[in-house]
């Protein structure tokens, strides 16, 4: 994907600026500022600004007045303790601001995370670009038979080509109608936009604190999340890794790749460790809970 000359120039100008500050900065994230990470066919994520770092989390937890009062190893240990015991408030002291370009249907999923500040491109005031999302062949799949919100087998051959043809045809026709409504009939932009499908791209600035960002990532990076939002989660994760490496390490360990066990599940694990034979029936777990627990134990 290529950026427009105007956007490329704006990014280069922003990256050329330098400011002296007394606040905490993170060199690894500074190197990434403003540059887009391209996502899907026309989308991107850019880090525009940030506040705080791992030390800010530690400082908030200790309610201290300065930085560097403890060794890095102790800071790491405290962050892991906070993550492990779900002491979330210190993570709210850090914030990240992103510029995101994404399909409208992805934005409607994303906006369900209400604990952020959002300002979206307005099609009441401006005309949307003729850019719409088309899945790659490996993402064209039929409805799953056992997952109401998931995908099943991937389409192939003529079926896949026909689906892409229909999606592209309808999007192009909708955009032609959209522009005609405004140019030929003088219809207001706020009305003309209703004819566009949800695979067209929108943009927004999204600012969120680190605690709520990790909640977003824990859901949207999950293998069961829809592919089109999962790839945005993966892109954002790269910024968090550079920004707060100790926090990311703990998050990855305890949340992304950890497991929360219920009282009944812990009882089953204890019996298994003791060498007892345990079956789902009589374990106190539903069949689904049992499968999930066995998935954790067996990997």
User: If you search the block for the tokens 């990997």, which residue do you land on?
Assistant: 299
SS3 sequence of the chain: CCCCHHHHHHHHHHHHCCCCCCCCCCHHHHCCCCCEEEECCCEEEEEEEEECCHHHHHHHHHCCCCCCCCCHHHHHHHHHHHHHCCCCHHHHHCEEEEEEEEEHHHHHHHCCCCCCEEEECCCCCCCCCCCECCCCHHHCEEECCCCCCCEEEECCHHHHHHHHHHHHHHHHHHHHHHHHHHHCCCCCHHHHHHHCCCCEEEEEEEEEEHHHHHHHHHHHCCCCCCHHHHHHHHHHHHHHHHHCHHHHHHHHHHHHCCCCCCHHHHHHHHHHHCCCCCCCCCCCCCHHHHHHHHHHHHC
Q: Which of 76, 193, 220, 255 is catalytic?
A: 220
Q: Among 65, 78, 107, 86, which Cα is nearest to 199's? A: 107
Cβ(263)–Cβ(283) under 8 Å?
Answer: no
CA distance 231 to 38: 10
Helix axes 54-62, 72-84, angle to 10 degrees: 70
| Known active-site residue 8 | no
Q: Catalogue the active-site residues.
A: 220
């Amino acid at each position: 994907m290529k950026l427009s000359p105007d956007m490329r120039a704006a990014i280069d100008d922003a990256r050329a600026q330098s400011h002296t500050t007394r606040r905490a900065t993170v060199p690894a994230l500074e190197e990434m500022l403003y540059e887009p990470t391209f996502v899907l066919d026309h989308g991107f994520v850019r880090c525009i600004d940030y506040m705080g770092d791992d030390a800010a989390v530690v400082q908030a937890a200790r309610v201290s007045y300065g930085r560097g009062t403890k060794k890095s190893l102790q800071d790491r240990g405290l962050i892991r303790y906070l993550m492990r015991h779900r002491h979330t408030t210190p993570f709210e002291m850090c914030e990240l601001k992103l510029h995101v370009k994404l399909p409208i249907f992805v934005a409607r999923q994303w906006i369900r995370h209400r604990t952020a500040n959002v300002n979206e491109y307005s099609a009441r005031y401006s005309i949307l670009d003729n850019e719409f999302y088309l899945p790659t062949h490996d993402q064209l799949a039929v409805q799953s038979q056992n997952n109401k919100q998931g995908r099943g087998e991937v389409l192939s051959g003529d079926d896949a080509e026909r689906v892409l043809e229909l999606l592209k045809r309808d999007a192009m026709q909708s955009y032609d109608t959209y522009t005609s409504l405004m140019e030929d009939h003088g219809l207001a932009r706020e009305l003309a936009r209703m004819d566009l499908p949800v695979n067209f791209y929108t943009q927004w600035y999204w600012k969120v604190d680190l605690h709520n960002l990790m909640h977003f990532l824990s859901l949207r990076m999950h293998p069961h999340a829809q592919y089109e939002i999962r790839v945005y989660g993966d892109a954002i994760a790269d910024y968090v890794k550079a920004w707060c490496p100790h926090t990311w390490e703990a998050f990855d360990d305890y949340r992304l790749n950890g497991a929360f066990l219920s009282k009944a599940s812990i009882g089953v694990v204890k019996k298994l460790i003791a060498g007892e034979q345990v079956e789902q029936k009589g374990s106190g777990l539903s069949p689904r809970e049992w499968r999930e627990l066995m998935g954790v134990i067996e990997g």
